[in-house]
């Protein structure tokens, strides 16, 4: 089988969840004997150009290099990017197109691939298909219930566009909903996302829920991990160090909890320098807190990096779609303390292998940390629960994805085929989006700066 994976970035351009997932899945599929290629975007100076790269495992990476994009102009350089994608499509001739993210790419690559005869699988790693800012978080920091047909987008995040806002964002919503309906199969990594997109209009019968797999070596001796090594409380955060991931909540909670000496290890890329300096300043005012930044990491390094860490904290303030960090922690026998945002509670058993606190509530997290500090038996029970938790490996996850590819291919030529009328409707919607300015140059500098400085996931 020939599989073409689509992602908004590919290492070393980014090391977020989608990038790592795409890279790992490509490796797993190739080890099963499948032919794999990847299409990814690299924003930068100049006009987009197609660059072919040969990866170390022999796979071809079609990297579309150049140009920038913003939420208000997600169709920037549309024709050039579609041309590059079409070159890759014709050259590689995939049986399956697996879309992992479309940010910075062109959404109509999906109907183009369908016309070429490829089965289409769309993975929903976040909420981009319904939310132009991806995370269901408004620009003022409050959470969003969804686009409401585009009216919510127009009245809050993009109200500066004036009278044109409603038409623009209603059309964007309609187009992406219609586009998602053309996928033969939709993969989500949690029930939370599956239910959210079903309410949005996705066809439930085409949705498959598969937990994210972890790449931790199953032979890792768990007895050496998660155990207290001193009187110092040792916590860790793993992931992109950006505001919506909530690292500041850990610092605020420790300031309130007053649990004595604490080591907080923060692992992950730090793209937002202002946020990084703010964290350092806040931490310096918390007595007994030692804050350490470890930078980007490979998941395979986690057993060594987290040795001696008692709890991994995942304090996201926006809905998480398919969180892998708490699953990685449990696979190492380390309990996870997670916020209630999105699918995070699905990743643990509250009170058994970890604990849940209300998203955005530093005081509630402080209460948990105080409890764990004062009652060591609670931590021991959680460690036992973490060690007994069965985990999905990246291999088992890839096996399930491979089965979904077979389902998608079997759907070609059935009632799930794309009628000519649907293709014409999508084309008309796309032309209307262009006419409403989504193809123009980046408008709001605040949005484009935000998107260049923060990781998508």
Question: d(Cα 122, Cα 140) in Å, to the nearest integer?
Answer: 30
| Mean pLDDT to the nearest integer, 239-245 | 94
pLDDT over 50 at 228, yes or no: yes
pLDDT over 90 at 160, yes or no: yes
pLDDT at 188: 97
The four Cα atoms 432, 433, 436, 440 give a dihedral, to 10 degrees, of: -130
The structure tokens listed for 323 are: 């969180």
Q: How confident is the model over 190-203, as pLDDT tens digits?
A: 999 999 999 999 99
pLDDT at 299: 84
Q: How confident is the model over 46-59, as pLDDT tens digits?
A: 999 999 999 998 89
The contacts of residue 140 (CB under 8 Å, 6+ apart) are 156
Alpha-carbon torsion 115, 120, 126, 129, what sign? positive
**pLDDT band (50, 70, 90) for residue 171:** very high
pLDDT at 215: 82
Domain 2-213+396-453 homologous superfamily, CATH: Glycogen Phosphorylase B; (3.40.50.2000)
SS (H, E, C) the chain: CEEEEEECCCCCCCCCHHHHHHHHHHHHHHHCCCEEEEEEEECEEEEEEEEEEECCCCCEEEEEEEECCECCECCCCHHHHHHHHHHHHHHHCCCEEEECCCCCCCCCHHHHHHHHCCEEEEECCCCCCCCCCCCCECCCCCECCCCHHHHHHHHCCCHHHHHHHHHHHHHHHHHHHHHHCCCCEEEECCHHHHHHHHHHCCCHHHEEECCCCECCCCCCCHHHCCCCCCCCEEEEEECCCCHHHCHHHHHHHHHHHCCCCEEEEEECCCCCHHHHHHHHHHHHCCCCEEEEEEECCCHHHHHHHCCCCCEEEECCCCCECCCCHHHHHHHCCCCEEEECCECHHHHCCECCCEEEECCCCHHHHHHHHHHHHHCHHHHHHHHHHHHCCCCCEHHHHHHHHHHHHHHHHHHCCCCCCCCHHHHHHHHHHHHHHHHCCCCCCCCCHHHHHHHHHCCCC
Q: Which of 14-18, 162-166, 269-273, 340-344 bottoms out in mean pLDDT, i.e. has the lowest? A: 14-18
Neighbours of 177 (CB within 10 A): 17
Q: Which of 127-141, 227-241, 299-313 bottoms out in mean pLDDT, i.e. has the lowest? A: 227-241
> 137 φ, ψ to 5°?
-130, 125
The structure tokens listed for 130 are: 């319904």
| Mean pLDDT to the nearest integer, 69-81 | 94
pLDDT at 441: 58
Question: d(Cα 170, Cα 40) in Å, to the nearest integer?
Answer: 28
What's the pTM?
0.90
pLDDT over 80 at 226, yes or no: no
Share of the chain above pLDDT 90, in %: 83
pLDDT over 50 at 178, yes or no: yes
pLDDT at 414: 76
pLDDT over 70 at 457, yes or no: no
> Can 2-213+396-453 and 222-387 be said to share one CATH topology?
yes
Are 210 and 190 contacting, i.e. CB atoms less than 8 angstroms apart?
A: no
The structure tokens listed for 307 are: 């040795």
**pLDDT band (50, 70, 90) for residue 231:** confident
pLDDT at 454: 46
pLDDT at 416: 63
Q: How confident is the model over 412-426, as pLDDT tens digits?
A: 977 666 666 678 899
| Mean pLDDT to the nearest integer, 95-110 | 97
Question: d(Cα 157, Cα 135) in Å, to the nearest integer?
Answer: 12
Share of the chain above pLDDT 70, in %: 92
pLDDT at 446: 39
Alpha-carbon torsion 50, 53, 59, 63, what sign? negative
Q: What is the distance of C-alpha 353 from the center of its chain?
A: 23
Q: How confident is the model over 294-326, as pLDDT tens digits?
A: 999 888 899 999 999 999 999 999 999 989 999
CATH of 222-387, one of 3.40.50.11740, 3.40.640.10, 3.40.50.2000, 1.10.1040.50: 3.40.50.2000
| Mean pLDDT to the nearest integer, 35-41 | 98
| Mean pLDDT to the nearest integer, 246-275 | 96
pLDDT over 50 at 453, yes or no: no
Are 42 and 67 contacting, i.e. CB atoms less than 8 angstroms apart?
A: no
pLDDT at 69: 87
**pLDDT band (50, 70, 90) for residue 449:** very low
| Mean pLDDT to the nearest integer, 208-229 | 71
pLDDT at 448: 39
The structure tokens listed for 124 are: 């929903």
| Mean pLDDT to the nearest integer, 375-396 | 94
Question: d(Cα 178, Cα 209) in Å, to the nearest integer?
Answer: 21
**pLDDT band (50, 70, 90) for residue 229:** low
Query: Which is more confidently placed, 446 or 337?
Result: 337
Q: Which of 13-17, 54-58, 393-397 bottoms out in mean pLDDT, i.e. has the lowest? A: 13-17
**pLDDT band (50, 70, 90) for residue 173:** very high
Task: Map out the domains of the chain as residue ranges.
Answer: 2-213+396-453, 222-387
**pLDDT band (50, 70, 90) for residue 450:** very low
Q: What is the mean pLDDT of the chain?
A: 91
Report CA Rg, the chain: 22
């Amino acid at each position: 089988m020939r599989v073409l994976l689509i992602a908004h970035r590919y290492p070393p351009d980014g090391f977020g969840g989608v990038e790592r997932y795409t890279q790992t899945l490509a490796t797993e599929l190739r080890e099963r004997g499948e032919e794999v290629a990847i299409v990814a975007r690299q924003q930068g100076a100049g006009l987009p150009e197609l660059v072919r790269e040969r990866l170390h495992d022999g796979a071809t990476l079609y990297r579309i290099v150049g140009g920038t994009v913003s939420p208000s102009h997600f169709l920037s350089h549309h024709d050039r990017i579609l041309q590059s994608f079409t070159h890759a499509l014709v050259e590689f001739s995939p049986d399956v197109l697996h879309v992992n993210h479309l940010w910075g790419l062109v959404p109509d690559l999906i109907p183009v691939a369908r016309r070429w005869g490829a089965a289409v699988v769309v993975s929903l790693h976040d909420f981009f298909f319904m939310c132009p800012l991806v995370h269901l978080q408004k620009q003022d920091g409050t959470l969003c219930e969804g686009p409401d047909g585009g009216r919510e987008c127009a009245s809050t995040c993009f109200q500066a566009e004036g009278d044109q806002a409603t038409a623009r964002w209603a059309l964007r919503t309609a187009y992406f909903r219609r586009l998602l309906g053309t996928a033969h199969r939709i993969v989500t990594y949690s029930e939370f996302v599956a239910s959210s997109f079903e309410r949005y209009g996705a066809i439930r019968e085409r949705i498959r829920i598969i937990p994210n797999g972890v790449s931790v070596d199953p032979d890792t001796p768990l007895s050496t991990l998660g155990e207290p090594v001193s009187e110092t409380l040792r916590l860790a955060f793993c992931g992109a160090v950006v505001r919506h991931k909530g690292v500041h909540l850990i610092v605020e909670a420790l300031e309130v909890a007053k649990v004595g000496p604490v080591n907080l290890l923060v692992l992950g890329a730090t793209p937002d320098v202002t946020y990084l300096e703010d964290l350092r300043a806040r931490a310096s005012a918390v007595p007994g807190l030692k804050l350490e930044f470890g930078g980007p990491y490979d998941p395979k390094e986690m057993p060594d990096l987290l040795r001696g860490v008692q709890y991994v904290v995942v304090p996201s303030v926006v809905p998480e779609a398919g969180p892998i960090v708490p699953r990685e922690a449990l696979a190492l026998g380390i309990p996870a303390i997670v916020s209630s945002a999105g699918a995070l509670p699905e990743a643990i058993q509250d009170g058994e292998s970890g604990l849940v606190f209300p998203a955005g509530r530093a005081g509630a997290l402080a209460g948990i940390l105080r409890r764990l500090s004062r009652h060591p038996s609670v931590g021991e029970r959680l460690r036992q629960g973490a060690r007994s938790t069965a985990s999905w490996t990246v291999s088992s996850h890839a096996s399930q994805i491979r089965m979904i590819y077979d389902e998608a291919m079997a759907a070609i030529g059935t009632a799930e085929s794309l009628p000519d009328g649907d293709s014409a409707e999508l084309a008309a919607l796309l032309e209307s989006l262009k006419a409403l300015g989504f193809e123009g140059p980046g408008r709001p500098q605040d949005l484009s700066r935000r998107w260049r400085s923060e990781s998508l996931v």
